[in-house]
Amino acid sequence: MSLRRAFTILTFAAALRAASVGAAPQQDASSLFSALESPVISGEIDPPALLAVGRAVIRPGAGAHVFVMSASGRPCGVLIDGSATLTYTVDETLSVPLARRNASRAHGLALQESGSQATLSGTLKGTAVWGWDIDKGLGAPRPASTKLPEWLATLLEKKTERNPGRDMVLSASSPAPGYRLAIFHLADDDLRLNVNPASGVRTESLGHYWKLPAISSRAGWLVVEPIVSQPIGRRWWDLASPDIAASDTEIKVVNDDGEHGVITTRTKVQALADHVDMLQLELLSEWVTARDERRLLKITKLTIDGTPASSLQLDWNLLVTLPRPLSKGQSITLEVTTEGRILELPEGDNYWELGTDAWYPRPAWPGAEWAAFHISVTTPSRFVPFAGGDVIQPPTASNGNTIVTELKGPMQYATAVAGRYKTVTDERDGWRVHVSTYAASREAEAHRLAGVVHAVRACLENALGVPYPFHDLEVVEINDWGWGQAPPGMIFITKEALLSNASAAMLDEDVRPMAELTSRGINERIAHEVAHGWFPHVAKIVSREESWLSESFAEYASAVCIQRASADTKRGKFLFDRQVSGWKTRTSALSDPASVYLAEYLGGREADVRDRQRLLYGKGPLVLHALRQELARTAGDEKEGDRLFFTWLRSYIKNFTYKLGGTRHLVAILTQMTGKDWQPWFERYVYGTETPKVN
Ligand SMILES: [Zn+2]
């Protein structure tokens, strides 16, 4: 599981204002972005009877004035200055529980439910809507000389979100833009509706601006808090497909001095759709350290096919303008060099970690990273460098302490670590597990941990019929408690995983309770990280709603293998039952009935973050167990039920080996296998909010 998400949210909240790099041709992305974020009033039009934005309908009241907004001399939206009414329809049944959960978070938004739909309504004091084609059919504007109203200018100044600017820039030369961003000004709140019909996204989401409290270093800034999201022109389970993919990525990390690093990335990006004229990448522009210190990651070079390219850096997004639009199948090579003091040595420890955050440029959603990696990491001689993949060249004094690895694709997330580590290699049947412990060598514990990895790997290979993707697996101890992470070729695991009874007894009084708490179920946690080798490194996912295919499936598969790996059957059953009862406890702790499938859409409050965990690591695996029991019940035989259940998992992994799959495919496989339509069952327990009975 990834508690690292908290870090991402913090970074998000601590957003910087726009900064641009690279050469600037006429009308570059950076100046267009700025113009969109503070548009000018270019004319006035007669008020329309209504304005439709996604599923919202806005009706201007008597006396309201309607203006055209422009950016860089081009109409970019309309502004309703004065009263209007808003009705927003939630007609995607599966999204209704989200609206029910979150509507009251916005002041002045009323929720009404009828049948399987919901309507949110409110009285607006002002409305601003961006969209390249929104003014079409609204009549010719007449001259107007006025400025943006105070409320809107202040909101645009204080908001941390990068829309409308980012997605308007991205759709600026699209033949069918259709993108909309609306800001609704209520008496005591402001709402934001983002409508993105682009083929890779097809989602609209309503939220409200939440003011960061005084305790934050960014007090008073506005963050969007989600209320409800809905798919556009599809049901939730119809996958939106990626528009670009990174296929070959070479990364060079040089830790030249202290916490400073220089990172060079060369990546081949292919268009998976027609008319790709701008790359939307993920790349952090700053790093927030454990001591809340902000450090910049600066771009010093950026080229496309060897020629400097114009780009726009926005917090964790990097937009790169292509010299010419790409058609489906065409590709370019992007080269980016960055540097900064981002190799943080946490609390003075002697290691740094470049984890799953975007420390090098890679496609942002709806793009995919399906790359083969060539990674090289150079560190001062006092540190041992690591990177995911097969070791092509180990670090030596003669090569300047450089490790070179290769990771077969398609994979997502390159990672690198370096520090004062001691490594123990445990090889069984040609599979090598390298366990690196921090500061001191702990040989017995390292072999014990490697034993769990080998047992679970062998069990899952046997159950799923597809080999584990990583012949060399680096397991690296992180000097912290209570989490694990499994980027490709690497497992980060915190120190309770490498604690012997003797060393546990020697811990200080103040950390002993933490060690005990986190040590419980440690084998299950290691097994969970190994299971990520298949879920999702073998069977690929890209959409947020498919998260359960990674987390809940890894959770269930690892529980099965911990049971199977137990020499003693009774002990194995005890361990499995203990997991099931943990899933039940988490499920019953949910603050509201919620959908496993939409776990990532709950919101960003503490209760939402907890419920997300309960859904993905509790209700999700519980639903899988219920399905296994249901198969046994309908077959009238537990053995036959198990056979069907594991054949189903195996078919999914085999059919989607290194391919993009989704829950809908799992439903189809099950339906084909059993001759019974499983869609209604999934609509209740996976897509919907019901909890199945489990014995
Ligand atoms: Zn996980």
Output the six-digit token pair for 680.
Answer: 């209604």
Report how far ligand 1's centroid is from the alpha carbon of 357 (Å): 15
Residue 352 CB-half CA count within 13 A? 24
In the chain, the amino acid numbered 199 is S
- Confidence band of 613 (pLDDT split at 50, 70, 90): very high
**Residue 147, Cβ density class (10 Å: 0-12 exposed, 13-18 middle, ≥19 buried):** exposed
65-71 and 74-90 strand pairing: antiparallel
Cα gap 276→578, rounded to integer Å: 50
Cα gap 243→279, rounded to integer Å: 10
pLDDT of 600: 97
Output the six-digit token pair for 331.
Answer: 């590709």
Report how far ligand 1's centroid is from the alpha carbon of 488 (Å): 12
Output the six-digit token pair for 681.
Answer: 């069952």
Which DSSP helix (H) or strand (E) runs through 180?
strand 180-185
Report how far ligand 1's centroid is from the alpha carbon of 584 (Å): 18
- Tens of pLDDT along 389-446? 999 999 999 999 999 999 999 999 999 999 999 999 999 999 999 999 988 888 999 9
* Selected residue with higher pLDDT from 200 and 464: 464
Task: Name 296's Cβ contacts closer than 8 Å, sequence gap at least 6.
Answer: 285, 286, 287, 340
Mean pLDDT throughout 573-590?
Answer: 96
pLDDT at 89 over 90: yes
Report how far ligand 1's centroid is from the alpha carbon of 547 (Å): 10
Report how far ligand 1's centroid is from the alpha carbon of 433 (Å): 19
Structural contact between residues 42 and 141, judged by C-beta atoms closer than 8 angstroms: yes
DSSP secondary structure letters along 473-533: EEEEEESSSS-EE--TTEEEEEGGGG--HHHHHTS-TTTHHHHHHHHTTHHHHHHHHHHTT
Report how far ligand 1's centroid is from the alpha carbon of 223 (Å): 27
- Confidence band of 223 (pLDDT split at 50, 70, 90): very high
Report how far ligand 1's centroid is from the alpha carbon of 27 (Å): 43
- Confidence band of 521 (pLDDT split at 50, 70, 90): confident
Cα gap 534→411, rounded to integer Å: 11
Report how far ligand 1's centroid is from the alpha carbon of 408 (Å): 21
Report how far ligand 1's centroid is from the alpha carbon of 1 (Å): 3
Please calculate the CA angle 309-310-312 and round it to the nearest 5 degrees.
Answer: 135
Alpha carbon 27 to its chain centroid, in Å, reads 31
Report how far ligand 1's centroid is from the alpha carbon of 532 (Å): 7
Q: What DSSP designation does 95 have? A: G
Report how far ligand 1's centroid is from the alpha carbon of 3 (Å): 9
Report how far ligand 1's centroid is from the alpha carbon of 548 (Å): 10
Report how far ligand 1's centroid is from the alpha carbon of 497 (Å): 16
Cα gap 428→491, rounded to integer Å: 18
What's the mean per-residue pLDDT of the chain?
92
Backbone torsions φ then ψ of 405, nearest 5 degrees: -130, 160
Task: Name 622's Cβ contacts closer than 8 Å, sequence gap at least 6.
Answer: 580, 583, 584, 587, 691, 692, 694
Cα gap 374→265, rounded to integer Å: 10
- Confidence band of 136 (pLDDT split at 50, 70, 90): confident
pLDDT of 498: 87
Report how far ligand 1's centroid is from the alpha carbon of 529 (Å): 6
Number of H helices, E strands in the chain: 16, 34
Task: Name 626's Cβ contacts closer than 8 Å, sequence gap at least 6.
Answer: 685, 692, 693, 694
The CATH superfamily of 544-685 is: Neutral Protease Domain 2 (1.10.390.10)
Alpha carbon 98 to its chain centroid, in Å, reads 19
Which DSSP helix (H) or strand (E) runs through 575?
helix 569-588
- Tens of pLDDT along 629-649? 999 999 999 999 999 999 999
Structural contact between residues 321 and 311, judged by C-beta atoms closer than 8 angstroms: yes
Report how far ligand 1's centroid is from the alpha carbon of 538 (Å): 14
The CATH superfamily of 1-26+241-410 is: tricorn interacting facor f3 domain (2.60.40.1730)
Structural contact between residues 434 and 471, judged by C-beta atoms closer than 8 angstroms: no
Report how far ligand 1's centroid is from the alpha carbon of 557 (Å): 12
Question: Which residue in this structure is represented by tokens 């910087």?
Answer: 16
Report how far ligand 1's centroid is from the alpha carbon of 456 (Å): 15
Structural contact between residues 146 and 40, judged by C-beta atoms closer than 8 angstroms: no
pLDDT of 213: 85
Question: Measuring CA to CA, how many Å separate 71 from each of 34, 174, 518, 634?
Answer: 9, 16, 54, 62
Structural contact between residues 193 and 184, judged by C-beta atoms closer than 8 angstroms: yes
pLDDT of 16: 34
In sign, the C-alpha dihedral spanning 580, 581, 586, 589 is: positive
Report how far ligand 1's centroid is from the alpha carbon of 485 (Å): 6
- Confidence band of 502 (pLDDT split at 50, 70, 90): low
- Confidence band of 169 (pLDDT split at 50, 70, 90): very high
Cα gap 556→531, rounded to integer Å: 9
Report how far ligand 1's centroid is from the alpha carbon of 554 (Å): 7
Structural contact between residues 397 and 501, judged by C-beta atoms closer than 8 angstroms: no
- Confidence band of 500 (pLDDT split at 50, 70, 90): confident
Output the six-digit token pair for 130.
Answer: 């961006």
Measured between its terminal Cα atoms, the distance across the chain in Å is 26
pLDDT at 181 over 60: yes
The domain ranges of the chain are: 1-26+241-410, 38-231, 544-685
Report how far ligand 1's centroid is from the alpha carbon of 685 (Å): 21
pLDDT at 15 over 70: no
Output the six-digit token pair for 158.
Answer: 């204080």
Number of Cβ within 10 Å of residue 132's Cβ equals 21
Question: Which residue in this structure is represented by tokens 């941390």?
Answer: 160
Structural contact between residues 200 and 237, judged by C-beta atoms closer than 8 angstroms: no
Cα gap 620→596, rounded to integer Å: 6
Which DSSP helix (H) or strand (E) runs through 79?
strand 74-90
Report how far ligand 1's centroid is from the alpha carbon of 6 (Å): 15
Cα gap 270→651, rounded to integer Å: 29
At 624, is the secondary structure helix, strand, or coil?
helix
Which DSSP helix (H) or strand (E) runs through 369?
strand 368-378
